[in-house]
Structure 1
Amino acid sequence: MNKICVLLAAYNGERYINEQIKSILSQKNICLDVYIRLDPSTDDSEKSIQGFVSEFSNIKVLSVTEASGGAGRNFFRLIIDVDFSEYDYVAFADQDDIWSNSKLAKAIEMLQHYDCYSANVTAFWEDGREVLIDKAQAQREWDFLFEAAGPGCTYVFKREVAIQFKTWLLERYEKIGEDITLHDWLLYAFARSHGYRWFIDPEAMMRYRQHANNQVGTNNSFVAAKKRFLLIKNKWYRIQATNIAEYLHLQNLPIVKYGLKNGYLGNLYLLLHVNKIRRRLRDRVALSFALIFNIF
């Protein structure tokens, strides 16, 4: 039976983490270990996690001496500290979602033909609202420099990808955590730029909890859209895309050289190639607006 390593980054997750871990342990036809890295927290997350550790031998907790400084860095630390050699696949997990019990089995089925997997999700709120988050549009030539494959908590990938990414990350770890915020965007860019095949599943394979503490969350509300607009206006988005390109030694790609790194003239170049840099039509329209008005 295939063996999967699940990496779970946690911080102040007491309210939801029990339900998430139970949904991971309920996976069908899967042999798995869960590695949890808990950043120093002010709630009873540690007590909740230790309850699982005492009951399940496949729940393992990494020793933490200092805070990572964010979810992305927490995942970078997990990738570096966990030995993947005995596993066939690696998966990311957030602390507050709910997995379908066939999530990993479906991923493994698709990974017989691909190297990396992600999926659509059903976002849900405490007031009962639910929305399908569709990230399964056709991949574009350079989309990996401008967006992730979807929520990182849906990612499952082959051991080879995990080991290659870990080796690459180890050489750059001290600086990369300062320059790149999102681990899932970076992994997608690494995989695509290294020729790995990525499948984005149109089926929603988990419930994606939305609350005030989401680092990114879904973009299906006015508040979320405003938050993302400010990230674009403040140049965070452009800086992140440029940093990812530079770390991956892609700075000579036309989309980077003549686009990202070329000021307002670069915006015109990006506008002319906008169909190659975002998968979803709505996102291409929004980005075009930002480029035309020099907000990006």
Structure 2
Amino acid sequence: MPSLSNDVPSIAVCLAAFNGVRYLQQQVDSILNQTGVNVTIFASIDRSMDGTEAWFLNLQALDSRIVVLPTGETFGGAAQNFFRLLRDCDFSGFDYVAFADQDDIWLPGKLTRAKDSLIENGADGYSSDVVAFWESGKSLYIKKSFAQRKWDYLFESAGPGCTFVISCKLAVEMQRVLQQKIGELAQIGLHDWFIYAYARARGYQWVIDGYASLMYRQHAKNQVGVNAGWVAFVWRARQVLSGWGLNQARLIAGQIGLHDDVFVRSWVGGGRWRMLRLAFQAANCRRRSRDQWLFALSCVALAFVGWK
């Protein structure tokens, strides 16, 4: 196990994989080549058919920085795979815990910048902007570092989970909670949203960095992907109008202990007037001004079409 060091911090990188062998070499290399930190990758593999398990087990035999959690389980999605990592990894001896997708590319100073930002801001949670890129050669800077709002954590994540770095203190606290809530979190669809919400609800400081040190790969198999273009807009609009987003907010609020909060109770029961009142709180519920308007319009729409 790594030892804590004031000069060279030790970071546990939780990597969730599923049929990702095509991209793993480039991603894992970019993590192991991080500068100014000691890295250990904990890999959890959703049952795959492309040799992902064998690839990781071979690498584990060659590199002590790779730890593969017991294989053979089916998680059915990235969120439950990441929750498994948080529940089952041994974080003793680490300073920080980071999260990684299987197909991105990290710039060499990503983790050092995150660590420095956490220290400078007295924070326990970090996320950042990203540069999305496609196999066609197209790239797009994705800004997530808009000012945090009073209730934004109930309605959106702090950015892609693959940018997240949290203190070991926060990780261990969340680990204890997750070990007690295995069944209760089965309906949570986005692990990064839950992690951000838990941290903010518990009073942990979170910093969203206006710098992109991660190349965020986009392809047909992305479970969520970047919110850019009309296809993404239509998909997310359907999610909102189906009530999925508010149902996730309701579930998360309950699991982080806010089910009796006055604000949560003001909208969680649904109904026309509750939705209209929530629309007027849009500026407190989303960070980006455009998203605030869309949130308000969505609440108005749900006030009339109903929220199931």
Same fold by TM (over 0.5)?
A: yes
Match of 2:4 in 1: none
2:101 equivalent among 81, 85, 94: 94
Match of 1:176 in 2: 185
Match of 2:293 in 1: 285
Query: Is there any run of 5+ residues in structure 1 with no aligned partner, and where?
Result: none
Whether contact under 8 Å (1:119, 1:202) holds in the other structure is: yes
Query: Is there any run of 5+ residues in structure 2 with no aligned partner, and where?
Result: 1-7
Q: Structure 1 residue 133: deviation in Å?
A: 0.9
Task: Say which SS state the counterpart of residue 224 (structure 2) adopts.
Answer: coil
Match of 1:148 in 2: 157
Correspondence 1:69-218 to 2 at 5 A = 69-112=76-119, 113-177=122-186, 179-218=187-226
Looking at structure 1, the residues matched to 217 and 16 of structure 2 have their Cα atoms a distance apart, in angstroms, of: 15
Whether contact under 8 Å (1:121, 1:204) holds in the other structure is: yes
Q: What's the C-alpha RMSD, in Å, of the aligned pairs?
A: 1.2
Q: 1:188 to 1:138 in 2, by over 3 A?
A: same
Q: Structure 1 residue 134: deviation in Å?
A: 0.6
Give every structure 1 segment of 4 or more consecutive aligned residues whose post-TM-superposition deviation is greater than 6 Å: none
Correspondence 1:225-236 to 2 at 5 A = 225-236=233-244
Whether contact under 8 Å (1:210, 1:217) holds in the other structure is: yes
- Tell me the matched-pair count: 295
Q: Structure 1 residue 293: deviation in Å?
A: 2.1
2:218 counterpart of 1:248: no
Q: TM-score, normalised by structure 1?
A: 0.97
Whether contact under 8 Å (1:92, 1:156) holds in the other structure is: yes
Q: TM-score, normalised by structure 2?
A: 0.93
Match of 2:38 in 1: 31
Whether contact under 8 Å (1:149, 1:185) holds in the other structure is: yes
Task: Say which SS state the counterpart of residue 32 (structure 1) adopts.
Answer: strand
Whether contact under 8 Å (2:279, 2:297) holds in the other structure is: no
Match of 1:12 in 2: 19
Letter in 2 for 1:196: Y
1:48 equivalent among 34, 39, 55: 55
Whether contact under 8 Å (1:18, 1:48) holds in the other structure is: no
Looking at structure 1, the residues matched to 238 and 195 of structure 2 have their Cα atoms a distance apart, in angstroms, of: 24
Q: Structure 1 residue 128: deviation in Å?
A: 1.1
Whether contact under 8 Å (2:97, 2:165) holds in the other structure is: yes
Q: Structure 1 residue 54: deviation in Å?
A: 2.9
Looking at structure 1, the residues matched to 181 and 9 of structure 2 have their Cα atoms a distance apart, in angstroms, of: 31
Q: Which moved more, 1:6-15 or 1:64-73?
A: 64-73
